[in-house]
Amino acid sequence: MPFSVEALRGSIVPVVTPFRAGRLDEAGLARLIDWQIASGSHGISVTGTTGEPSALARAERERVIQVAVEAVAGRVPFVAGTGSNNHEEALRLTRFAQKAGADAVLVVTPYYNRPSQEGLYQHFATVAAAVDLPVILYNIPGRAAVNLEIDTVARLRAARPNIVGCKEANKDFEFINRLLHKLGRDFLVYSGIELLCFPVLAIGGAGYVSATGNLLPREVAQLYNLAAAGEWQAAQDLHYHLMPLNDAIFIEINPVPVKTALGLMGKISPEVRLPLAPLAPASLERLKAVLASYGLIAAAGKEPA
């Protein structure tokens, strides 16, 4: 691994998986990654929940990881999303990510299955034991319908030292405080909730994995840079500046608004795969208005600058 675990801090952007005419858009993905790195993002992740992993065949997920490794080319840490609600698939993807050259893996709590805490422990411990890479757990109770409890995380950390952190897409900020208190601030806790990115930095978090970084990578990275430099007032101001966009990209289920926005910005085709569907007309108009307010697209009736 060319990067130390300490390098896994800051804005690790969960890059969308672009499609064109129903197929993977590999060139589009590489362009997105280049833009992210040029814009100052501290790390790149693919095939987490923003990357539509449940819409990808395993071979496609592997290909996305491989394309991303080649596009990142060691410039920043690369974190491959390898989680699944199928245990064997998670194992195979995690092993593949190590072989492909990922710097770390992000493993989501199995969705739909609603496993017990013991089931979660055994699942994550087995996956972590299969590789020599740093493993970042991914707790997203809103989609997985199960919460990865703090005591379970502590058990996992004690049993598998390569489990180095957790992405918390948990709206319970008290829970995140208690996780850091229990595990210690050397345990890398990332916000997966856009409105909690700044608060998580304030309590000692390692950074965030924010879908908003797909659209404003420079500003989202700067939020971490300001906090790391102790410029808390400027960081707070930027936090509130980002809030309308943070809200807009969740007017419908992620990643539909983000991919729609990137399409409007001319970055990729906005395609999603069924059962996801394009934005409803009212949502599209609302999203356009917010994007225009940030200068990301031209306002209605105006030509682009």
Q: What is the 3-state secondary structure (H, E, C) of 245-259?
A: HHHHCCCCCCCHHHH
Partners of 261 in the β-ladder: none
- Side chain identity, residue 198: F
The DSSP symbol for 201 reads H
C-alpha span between 116 and 125 (Å, rounded): 14
The rounded distance, in Å, linking the Cα atoms of 75 and 283 is 36
Structure tokens given for 28: 């589009």
Catalytic residues: 138, 167
Cis-peptide, bond into residue 2, ω within 30° of zero: no
- Per the CB < 8 A criterion, the answer to whether 96 and 62 are in contact is yes
